[in-house]
Amino acid sequence: MTQETKYTEDNIRSLDWKEHIRMRPGMYIGKLGDGSSPDDGIYILVKEVLDNSIDEFVMGTGKTIEVSVQGDKVIVRDYGRGIPLGKVVDVVSKMNTGGKYDSRAFKKSVGLNGVGTKAVNALSTYFRVESTRDGKSAAAEFEKGNLTNEEFLEETSRRRGTKVTFIADETIFKNYKYRPEYIIKLLKNYVYLNPGLTIVFNGEKFYSENGLKDLLEDNNNQDDMLYPIIHLRGDDIEIAMTHSKTQYSEEYHSFVNGQNTTQGGTHLNAFREAVVKTVREFFGKNFDASDVRKSIIAAISVKVMEPVFESQTKTKLGSTEMGGDLPTVRTYINDFVKTQLDNFLHKNTEIADKLQRKILQAEKERKELSGIRKLARERAKKASLHNKKLRDCRIHFGDTKKDGYLDTTLFITEGDSASGSITKSRNVNTQAVFSLKGKPLNSYGLSKKIVYENEEFNLLQAALNIEDGLEDLRYNNIVIATDADVDGMHIRLLLITFFLQFFPEVIKEGHLYILETPLFRVRNKKETFYCYSEEEKQAAINKLRGKPEITRFKGLGEISPNEFVHFIGDDIRLDPVMLDKEMSIEQMLEFYMGKNTPDRQKFIINNLKVELDLVEEN
């Protein structure tokens, strides 16, 4: 007979604020990660602190913010009003405490939940906040949310404002490191949205005069724009848009009160709808919505009173109201776009003509592809039924989960042995495997038609669910997992070419990665070390002493599923694929995948020498 489990008062436990945050960090900052993804938790920590400084600027104080990231230490210093000195400890350590609950002090702030800096505090091994105002200052230091020290100065010559220093807890954010590219993108978004604001990052200044126009220009090559950026501003709204000459899909950057809403929301839906409606009325033709928006590159920013977001990390707006006496978000954006975009097109007939030709071209291509697309979808459905290529996971990106953000991964690999090892060692809930058969086609210079006609490309597109953009992307991490040899490198390059050619937004939005796997295993009877470089191998040999057994992994198939589980679990190492801002996508593809040129031959020879030197050493 089974013994009944006792349920008494002793089983009831109340967590204090810091225990709850540390036990369920995903509820407060989204996924954890190691810094290889732009939405990893360590960047959310930086953003939560920065949001407070940005709100100070929005309220008219503190035109400069200084940010320093050295190793694992982050420092954010603003010159705003400073936290009221008697409340310094409370503001960073008591839930539901903060100035943003008083709309007189913060009118259109990023968020009103009073959680941000508390989460940073609880998830840091060291956290210090200093506030200076009226010639006096107060400071407090914490360890994992526990107060360790308080300081008060009756007189100080420091400039007013707030300074926060923190070191994220490595037991929660394992093996993390900050990538400057992601922090710079975050800071640039802040200056685009706040004309007059200067942010200094490790000595480098960021400033924007033209707001969202600068954002589109910095993120896209001028030669790829069909027409000059349309830039429209209103009291609580700003819009910038153009169309790409080469890109197939839609690309949006959306913001609410300075917050980058990467998953869109009511404001982005309204904007997409308003553009189609305005263009149809301007040309007097009932164009298909997909033809109007094909290749669009746009940014929208709105300011909303007391916004409601669909998650703590504020990546999707749920509000339907602008606040105050203003109409709904949908009506406000529709009215603005209808008036301003229509006026712009009437005044700029040359741009209007280019836009119309682009829409008609998109319509022609869509009709030509309609039959092929239908057959391709049917093939993809049949393939998924027989599970030929895709070993899917149970949950997908965008699915809701009570613990907050859900991280899902698709590994793209080649060969039965490699895909077999990953399939056996993966987390079946959140990790899927797509198996390639040999090397994929070089898609450089080919039309979108090839995506539907080529079985592998068609099935990969269907697995990711990105045919019509990233809105319904099924996995937020797309990981290329190939051998670290010449053939593996070639497959990587061909896959990256596929995404650059047809779905560049996958790379632009930080979804594509290369899986790092160990090159060596160094072990004795007691310990085993997996080493990702020659330096790590040497360090392991020194640690174990004696003559340990050294294995050189030449391919993923050589790594057993029992070992592979370490490399795709909590200790996974991912290298993000990033675009070179100095080259357009077309230039990049031409250089790496076009006809041979002396420049590319020189590049290959120089880089091949490095690879050969490494092989010879081993």
Architecture of the domain spanning 17-206: 2-Layer Sandwich (3.30)
| Backbone dihedral region for residue 231 (phi beyond 0: left; psi -120 to 50: alpha; all else: beta) | beta
pLDDT at 457: 92
Residue 549 CA to residue 529 CA, distance in Å, equals 10
**Which CATH architecture best describes the domain 369-617?**
3-Layer(aba) Sandwich (3.40)
352: Cβ contacts below 8 Å, ≥ 6 apart: 282, 345, 346
Q: Position 274: which residue type?
A: A
Distance, CA of 574 to CA of 511 (rounded, Å):
11
Mean pLDDT by 10 residues, the chain (618 residues): 50 64 83 86 93 89 96 96 89 63 45 69 96 93 95 88 96 92 94 94 96 93 91 95 89 89 89 97 97 95 84 72 79 96 97 97 91 84 72 80 64 85 92 91 89 91 88 90 85 92 89 91 92 91 90 85 87 86 71 70 58 40
> What are 155's two structure tokens?
């007189």
The pLDDT, as a whole number, for residue 431 is: 95
DSSP 139: E
Among 183, 331, 308, residue whose Cα is nearest residue 257: 308
Angle between helix 349-386 and 266-283 (nearest 10):
130
Q: What is the pLDDT of residue 102?
A: 41
How far apart (Å, rounded) are the C-alpha atoms in residues 167 and 440?
Answer: 43
Dihedral in degrees, nearest 10, Cα atoms 553, 555, 561, 565 = 70
Residue whose tokens read 């968020």: 111
- Alpha carbon 112 to its chain centroid, in Å, reads 23
C-alpha dist (Å) from residue 402 to 15, 29, 30, 188, 551: 18, 14, 12, 32, 43
Q: How far apart are CA 394 and CA 427, in angstroms?
A: 10
β-strands 409-414, 431-436: how paired? parallel
Residue 597 pLDDT:
66
CATH architecture type of domain 212-367:
2-Layer Sandwich (3.30)
pLDDT at 210: 95
Query: For the chain, which residues make up each domain, given as ranges?
Result: 17-206, 212-367, 369-617
Query: Facing residues of 584 across strands?
Result: none
Which residue is listed with tokens 């200044």?
A: 205
What is the rounded distance in angstroms from the CA atom of residue 550 to the CA atom of residue 530? 10
Task: Tell me the pLDDT tens digit for each residue of 236-263.
Answer: 999 999 999 888 888 899 999 888 888 8
Kindly report the backbone phi and psi dihedral angles of residue 394, in degrees, each rounded to the nearest multiple of 5, phi listed first: -85, -30
Tens digits of residue pLDDT in 48-60: 999 899 989 988 8
Identify the pLDDT of residue 10: 52
d(CA 220, CA 241): 12
Q: Residues near 586 by Cβ (< 8 Å), separated by ≥ 6?
A: 221, 223, 224, 246
Instruction: Find the angle CA(306)-CA(307)-CA(312) to the nearest 5 degrees.
Output: 115
Q: How far is CA 118 from CA 146, 173, 183, in A?
A: 11, 17, 21
Residue 570 is classified by DSSP as: T
**Spatial CB neighbours of 291, under 8 Å, sequence gap ≥ 6:** 359, 360, 362, 363, 366
- What are the φ/ψ torsions at residue 99 (nearest 5 degrees)? -75, -15
> Could you tell me where the DSSP H helices lie in 105-244?
116-122, 180-193, 212-219
Per-residue buried b or exposed e for 129-148, using 16+ beta carbons within 10 Å of the residue's own CB: bbbbbeebbbbbbbebbeee
Token code pair at residue 76: 């954010």
Name the nearest CA neighbour of 297 among 91, 450, 469: 469
Structure pTM?
0.82
Contacts of 264 (CB under 8 A, 6+ apart): 252, 254, 316, 317, 471
Element (H, E) at 259: strand 259-260
- Using the structure block, give the residue that is written with the tokens 């200093």: 130
Token pair of 63 as six digits: 């035109």
As a whole number of angstroms, the distance between CA 553 and CA 559 comes to 7
DSSP 76: E
Cβ(204)–Cβ(68) below 8 Å: no
The first and second tokens of residue 158, run together, are 């420091």
Chain center to CA of 138: 36
* N-term to C-term CA, the chain: 61
Give pLDDT tens digits for 378-403.
887 777 655 678 999 998 876 654 44
**How far is it, in rounded angstroms, from Cα 234 to Cα 467?**
34
Can you count the helices (H) and strands (E) in the chain? 20, 22
Look-up: residue for tokens 């709100």? 55
Q: What is the pLDDT of residue 386?
A: 58
Q: How wide is the angle at C-alpha 457 spanned by C-alphas 452 and 458, nearest 5°?
A: 40
Alpha helix stretches (DSSP H) within 142-265? 180-193, 212-219
Residues shown for the chain: 618
